[in-house]
Amino acid sequence: MSRPFELDPLFRAISTLPGVGPKTAPLFEKLMRGGKVVDVLHHKPIDFIDRRFSPKLKDAPDGKIATMDVRIEKHSFAPRRGLPSKINANDGTGSIDIIYFNAHKDWITKQLPIGEICVISGKVEHYQGKMQMVHPDMVGKPDERDAIETIEPIYALTAGVTNKTVKKAINGALGTIPKLSEWLDAEYKKKNKWPDWHKAIEALHNPNDEAGLSPAHPARERLAYDELLANQLSLALVRLHQRKLNGRSWKPENKLRNKILSTLPFELTGAQQRTLDDIDADMTSPLRMLRLVQGDVGSGKTIVAACAMMNAIECGAQAAIMAPTEILAQQHEESFGEWLDAAGVTYVTLTGRNKGKEREAILEEIKSGEAQVVIGTHALFQDTIEFKDLGLAVIDEQHRFGVHQRLALSQKSNGTDVLVMTATPIPRTLTLTAYGDMEVSRIDEKPPGRKPVDTRLLPKEKVETMIDAIARQLEKGARAYWVCPLVEDSEFLDLQAAEARYDILRERFGAEVGLVHGKMKAQEKDDVMRDFAMGHIKILVATTVIEVGVNVPEANIMVIEQAERFGLSQLHQLRGRVGRGAAKSFCFLVYAAGLGQTAKERLRIMRETEDGFVIAEKDLELRGGGEILGTRQSGMPTFKLADLTAHGDLLVTARDDTKLILHNDENLESPRGIALKTLLYLFEQDQAITRLRAG
């Protein structure tokens, strides 16, 4: 089915709305994050002005917005530009000066004629013993009072767009709303006292009071639920389609796995064993595995992945692990290499460094199946790379990847099982919205022997003292990361901050200091990282490019400058770079004076806990969902109507509702199913409907 005809008015261009011309249309698109009428309707008001307060002048309080009838007594026009024109008025109980700067004399005379009663609405100010209203928001005749004495919603704006133009466009959009068939469960809707969809949209843009702006308002809840249901239904349909694609059942004898486990100097933790049990159950079942493994830095995800690979290899297929960077792929080669050698499994590593004949030889080994395990970067996705029989694909550091990349990967081979590993602890609600197409396991225990990191807060003024302490540690063989502040969204300023710090440290420590930043070529970055890993460099100054994955056990000091600028999850990821070796580790969070409440709270949490999952939940509370992973291209959906901190419970209900819907009506053919397809189109989840058609 193509998009239902009744949605057409909502998918017209923004420029068809009143007040949106060729100049303002691009500004509207930027503000509304989209260029259609429906994007305007989904732009929520953030505040309102109540113009219903209508006191007499003698009772009008200072600083409050009021709407009043006044008689115009006198005009005093400005002698020149830059000086105010004053219009004196009264209502029999007191007098007020209406003040305009740079207003045209004719305009004032026409709007506020002497001797006439006019309605004015705006902020009343008491100035030098007199009452005044500077530039009233609204002026009109007594018969226009009803139109003036209203509640006016206030919207988030961008330069060049006023509240008046947004309101005009929204009123135009409200006039196009169709009545759509109900997609909600009737009982659930009734229980929550939710309005119909079109009534909810109208109520969203016409708040009567504070409650109308609350996420708990029935109209706002209803619309949030619609958006979350569309998200969950779309992911579930993708998952259903994916799992139906020729899954395979692996039934290994675990001989290879046991060889690996017998070489380990430790037992698997309970959480690792539980996760492996989940993976084994998936891989034994005839459906395709799509599983996300979340585990904090150092929780032992890699050994779990190696054990999972043995399931496919023992049954004659191949396995691959893909890392986001070359240096991480090489680290995997080191860590996996020992285990694979112990199990007698052949492996190759393929990165951008492999050129010419060497590369061709590796590609041939992959194609012939001689290479049982392939380690590489995400370049393994390329069409030129052929596997003989890829049974399991492991993707490391998934949050750089969205649903679409996962789909591309799984089409690489017939019924490939997919295991995704992330070291970014993600709150449960965000896991549902970003990874709803996958099953999730959590490794929430650290292996025995990992030492806690001593986390200290340090005011900026004490940095010199800290540098002296670091110098003493370096003499004992320590190595330190020094992370420079994030400067807005400017890589240029990030770089300036990093280079300035590098120069200062270089004066003190000479060639023992290295620098990595986002503007460097991958090869240059890798070279500096390698020098640090080998100990040629003792201090690595960096922008946040070191956040993901690098393992240097000798590095036991982490300095984060202007730590208040980072999100909690980012601070946690950075701190996870240290505490991997035998030496005691330190993390210094350097902060500037005048911290806000949220920044203080963030740093306090970092000092109190090392549990990534606790930190992730707190981060969601403090920052909201959009920024939680610190990357805009993280594959995380952004919601316009739902607020995950307020609507988390609705998300869980949407997931359960989705399961029930698809259990009863997998192809969405019932009356409610057809209405749900309209919902998917409304929130532009068309790709899910395509999957539905493709079976």
For the stretch 64-116, pLDDT in tens is 999 999 999 999 998 888 889 999 999 999 999 999 998 888 999 999 999 99
Mean pLDDT value across the chain:
86
According to CATH, where is 2.40.50.140 located in the chain? 52-149
Helix (H, G, I), strand (E, B) or coil at 154: strand
In which band, very low, low, confident or very high, does the pLDDT at 404 lie, cut at 50, 70 and 90?
low
Q: For the residues 320-343, what does the mean pLDDT come to?
A: 87
- The CATH code that applies to domain 52-149 is 2.40.50.140
- Backbone torsions φ then ψ of 138, nearest 5 degrees: -145, 145
Residue 13 DSSP class: B
Burial 508-519 (b: 16+ CB within 10 A, else e): ebeebbbbbbee
% of the chain residues with pLDDT over 90: 51
Q: For the residues 436-446, what does the mean pLDDT come to?
A: 83
Q: For the residues 397-410, what does the mean pLDDT come to?
A: 61
Q: Please give the CATH superfamily to which domain 255-443 belongs.
A: P-loop containing nucleotide triphosphate hydrolases (3.40.50.300)
Task: Choose among 646, 634, 469: nearest CA to 567.
Answer: 634
Helix (H, G, I), strand (E, B) or coil at 601: helix
User: Does the pLDDT at position 525 exceed 80?
Assistant: yes
Task: Choose among 466, 461, 467: nearest CA to 593.
Answer: 461
User: Does the pLDDT at position 668 exceed 80?
Assistant: yes
Q: Which pLDDT score is estimated for 98?
A: 95
Task: Choose among 648, 251, 291: nearest CA to 443.
Answer: 291
In which band, very low, low, confident or very high, does the pLDDT at 468 lie, cut at 50, 70 and 90?
very high
User: Does the pLDDT at position 345 exceed 80?
Assistant: yes
Q: Which pLDDT score is estimated for 406?
A: 64
% of the chain residues with pLDDT over 70: 91
User: Does the pLDDT at position 51 exceed 80?
Assistant: yes
State both tokens at 65.
Answer: 């917005």
* Beta carbons of 416 and 390 less than 8 angstroms apart: yes
- Backbone torsions φ then ψ of 23, nearest 5 degrees: -75, -40
Q: For the residues 303-332, what does the mean pLDDT come to?
A: 90
pLDDT digits (tens, 9 = 90+) for 225-256: 999 999 999 988 888 877 777 678 999 999 99
State both tokens at 157.
Answer: 């704006």
Q: Which pLDDT score is estimated for 586?
A: 93
* Beta carbons of 556 and 528 less than 8 angstroms apart: no
Amino acid at 297: V
Q: Which pLDDT score is estimated for 628?
A: 42
- 654 sits in which H/E element: helix 644-664
Worst-scoring range by mean pLDDT, 4-13, 274-283, 421-430, 587-596?
Answer: 421-430
Q: Which pLDDT score is estimated for 278?
A: 96
Which residue has 């390698």 as its token pair?
A: 530
- The CATH code that applies to domain 453-609 is 3.40.50.300
* Beta carbons of 688 and 695 less than 8 angstroms apart: no
Task: Choose among 180, 185, 184, 186: nearest CA to 201.
Answer: 180
Q: Which pLDDT score is estimated for 135?
A: 92
CA distance 440 to 46: 35
pLDDT digits (tens, 9 = 90+) for 363-388: 999 999 999 999 998 777 777 788 99
Burial label for 555, CB within 10 Å (0-12, 13-18, 19+), is buried
Q: What does the DSSP assignment read for 366-431? A: HHHT--SEEEEEGGGGSTT---S-EEEEEEESGGG--HHHHHHHHTTSTT-EEEEEESS---HHHH
In which band, very low, low, confident or very high, does the pLDDT at 17 lie, cut at 50, 70 and 90?
very high
Q: Max CA-CA distance within the chain?
A: 101
Instruction: Give the N- to C-terminal CA distance of the chain in Å, as an integer.
Output: 14
pLDDT digits (tens, 9 = 90+) for 186-201: 999 999 999 999 999 9
In which band, very low, low, confident or very high, does the pLDDT at 182 lie, cut at 50, 70 and 90?
very high
What Å distances lie between residue 390 and 234, 312, 367, 546, CA to CA? 27, 9, 10, 31
According to CATH, where is 3.40.50.300 located in the chain? 255-443, 453-609
261/159: higher pLDDT: 261
Give start and end residues of each alpha helix (H) in 132-266. Answer: 145-148, 163-174, 186-191, 197-204, 218-244, 255-263
331/28: higher pLDDT: 28
Q: For the residues 575-593, what does the mean pLDDT come to?
A: 86
- Backbone torsions φ then ψ of 137, nearest 5 degrees: -70, -35
CA distance 444 to 296: 7
Which residue has 């003292």 as its token pair?
A: 465
- 131 sits in which H/E element: strand 130-134
Q: For the residues 110-133, what does the mean pLDDT come to?
A: 93
In which band, very low, low, confident or very high, does the pLDDT at 159 lie, cut at 50, 70 and 90?
confident
Q: Which pLDDT score is estimated for 276?
A: 97
State both tokens at 28.
Answer: 């509207």
Residues 6+ apart with CB under 8 A from 85: 75, 76, 77, 78, 99, 100, 101, 103, 105, 108
CA distance 14 to 41: 10
CA distance 242 to 247: 9
pLDDT digits (tens, 9 = 90+) for 471-483: 999 998 899 999 9
User: Does the pLDDT at position 672 exceed 80?
Assistant: yes
User: Does the pLDDT at position 442 exceed 60?
Assistant: yes
Give start and end residues of each alpha helix (H) in 205-325. Answer: 218-244, 255-263, 270-284, 301-314
> In this structure, which long-range contacts are made by residues 163-169, counting pairs with CB atoms below 8 Å and at least 24 apart in sequence?
165/19, 165/20, 165/24, 166/31, 166/43, 168/17, 168/18, 168/19, 169/14, 169/17, 169/18, 169/19, 169/20, 169/28, 169/40
State both tokens at 70.
Answer: 């006044």
Burial 100-113 (b: 16+ CB within 10 A, else e): beebeeeebeebbe
